């Protein structure tokens, strides 16, 4: 029996894929698995039984990844599952920044009692005129699941699109339309583009990347879109840019007290992934990842441990070990099994940064003493026996 706890509402169609071996609990401390969206887990003390956190979404800056790795907790996200929802909102954001749709709608609401509104609208409309996206230059920083979709969609709208991503994955490279220009430096995006949209994770290396220096390189009247994370921009620099007119509009999915009321800021309350489709995709993927790990020890889409998949163990018994990525771990682990005369039927070892994962299938039952001996090896963080 596995216990799980949901920190946010997780779409029912995903939870429906949990078998009867999974029961919800009312206290996260009792859980084997946690499902979460944006709830902040940094301050949470994890229970001893917690083995997995599945983030139904992309960004994992709400989860203490290193602490989880050290406590033997595998963290998953759901790459690409909400990318289309975000892409569509980014396109909407570009349109809202180009045409004064919001100003026009507000005018109509303010004049709803005007019996002559049809005629008056024809006089008023010049105040809300805008420009078109076609032919304008768009810079996309970060060409992952979302950035690629935004770049390709913008190209279909007739924009001249530049993409920048020094860590571009092969998977993304296959998807990028060949009409997208390859920007070799981020400065090229800053200096060339009329619209700049940022789709990178919040990391130490990306926090505050849109700062006063970056903005000083941008064209006058640039539109900056941030549907990734608030911390990617230096708020003070963006506010200064809006006040001076250097930035025409800052369109963001992340309201903060500094930005919310500033003229020129178009602020949305984190709605990028709030579509039925995105919520369902994310919930299904997160549940699948959590189940596959708890039931079979397989890791797919982890952000703090390597991917490692040995499928279904069949008649074999499975041992899984989370450990530090240091020399002689395999020697010590197999040494324990040899001491107990156990026969290894299949085995896999993968590493990611400072952490590694070993899966071993054996063709006999695994005595409790083996688990204890494995746990005693220096550098082992968690041992599971999946009988």
Ligand X SMILES: O=C(O)[C@H](O)COP(=O)(O)O
Ligand Y SMILES: NC(=O)c1ccc[n+]([C@@H]2O[C@H](COP(=O)([O-])OP(=O)(O)OC[C@H]3O[C@@H](n4cnc5c(N)ncnc54)[C@H](O)[C@@H]3O)[C@@H](O)[C@H]2O)c1
Query: Known catalytic residues?
Result: 229, 258, 270
Please tell me whether residue 266 binds ligand Y under the rule CB under 6 A: no
Supply the minimum distance, in Å, between the C-beta of residue 46 and ligand Y: 23
CB 33 within 8 A of CB 290: yes
Please tell me whether residue 159 binds ligand Y under the rule CB under 6 A: no
Please tell me whether residue 89 binds ligand X under the rule CB under 6 A: no
Please tell me whether residue 174 binds ligand Y under the rule CB under 6 A: no
Residue 249, strand partner residues: 223
Applying CB under 6 A, the site for ligand Y has a residue count of 34
Please tell me whether residue 142 binds ligand Y under the rule CB under 6 A: yes
The region of 56-64, 169-177, 192-200, 305-313 touching ligand X under the rule CB under 6 A is: 56-64
β-pair type (265-267, 222-226):
unpaired
Please tell me whether residue 58 binds ligand X under the rule CB under 6 A: yes
Closest CA to 285 of 49, 64, 1, 37: 37
- DSSP-derived secondary structure letter, 265: E
Supply the minimum distance, in Å, between the C-beta of residue 373 and ligand Y: 39
Residue 83 interacting entry, from ligand X, ligand Y, none, C-beta within 5 to 8 Å by type: ligand Y
Supply the minimum distance, in Å, between the C-beta of residue 156 and ligand Y: 18
Token pair recorded at residue 214: 């970056």
> What is the C-alpha separation between 31 and 23, in angstroms, rounded?
9
> What is the C-alpha separation between 356 and 15, in angstroms, rounded?
29
The region of 54-62, 105-113, 189-197, 293-301 touching ligand X under the rule CB under 6 A is: 54-62
Please tell me whether residue 228 binds ligand Y under the rule CB under 6 A: yes
Indicate if the alpha-carbon torsion angle 197, 78, 283, 176 is positive or negative. Answer: positive
| Of positions 37, 51, 87, 249, contacts ligand X by CB under 6 A | 37
| Of positions 10, 18, 82, 83, contacts ligand X by CB under 6 A | 82
HSE toward the beta carbon, residue 150, CA cutoff 13 A: 36
CB 372 within 8 A of CB 342: no
Dihedral angle at the C-alpha atoms of 247, 249, 250, 256, nearest 10 degrees?
110
The region of 112-120, 202-210, 270-278, 285-293 touching ligand X under the rule CB under 6 A is: 270-278
Token pair recorded at residue 125: 């409309």
Please tell me whether residue 274 binds ligand X under the rule CB under 6 A: yes
Residues that bind ligand X (CB under 6 A): 37-38, 57-59, 82, 270, 272-274
């Amino acid at each position: 029996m596995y216990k799980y706890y949901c920190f946010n509402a997780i779409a029912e169609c995903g939870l429906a894929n949990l078998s009867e071996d999974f029961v919800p609990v009312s206290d996260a401390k009792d859980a084997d698995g946690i499902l979460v969206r944006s709830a902040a887990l940094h301050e949470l003390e994890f229970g001893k039984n917690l083995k997995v956190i599945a983030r139904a979404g992309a960004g994992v800056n709400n989860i203490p990844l290193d602490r989880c790795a050290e406590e033997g907790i595998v963290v998953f996200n759901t790459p690409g599952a909400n990318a289309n929802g975000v892409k569509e909102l980014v396109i909407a954001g570009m349109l809202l920044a180009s045409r004064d749709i919001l100003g026009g709608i507000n005018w109509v609401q303010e004049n709803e009692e005007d019996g002559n509104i049809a005629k008056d609208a024809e006089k008023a409309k010049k105040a809300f005129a805008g420009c078109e996206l076609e032919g304008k230059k768009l810079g996309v920083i970060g060409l992952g699941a979302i950035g690629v979709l935004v770049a390709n969609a913008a190209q279909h709208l007739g924009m001249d699109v530049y993409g920048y991503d020094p860590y571009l994955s092969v998977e993304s490279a296959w998807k990028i339309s060949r009409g997208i220009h390859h920007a070799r430096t981020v400065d090229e995006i800053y200096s060339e583009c009329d619209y700049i949209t940022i789709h990178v994770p919040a990391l130490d290396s990306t926090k505050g990347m849109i700062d006063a220096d970056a903005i000083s390189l941008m064209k006058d009247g640039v539109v900056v879109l941030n549907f990734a994370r608030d911390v990617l921009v230096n708020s003070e620099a963006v506010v200064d840019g809006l006040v001076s007119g250097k930035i025409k509009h800052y369109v963001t999915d992340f309201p903060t007290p500094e930005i919310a009321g500033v003229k020129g800021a178009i602020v949305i309350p984190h709605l990028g992934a709030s579509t039925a489709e995105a919520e369902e995709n994310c919930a299904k993927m997160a549940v699948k990842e959590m189940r596959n790990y708890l039931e079979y020890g397989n890791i797919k889409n982890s952000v703090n441990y390597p991917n490692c998949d040995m499928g279904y163990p069949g008649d074999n018994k499975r041992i899984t070990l989370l450990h530090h990525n240091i020399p002689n771990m395999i020697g010590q682990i197999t040494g324990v099994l040899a001491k107990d005369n156990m026969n290894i039927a299949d085995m896999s070892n993968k590493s990611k940064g400072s952490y590694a994962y070993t899966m071993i299938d054996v063709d006999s039952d695994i005595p409790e003493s083996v688990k204890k001996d494995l746990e005693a090896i220096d550098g082992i963080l968690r041992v599971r026996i999946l009988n």
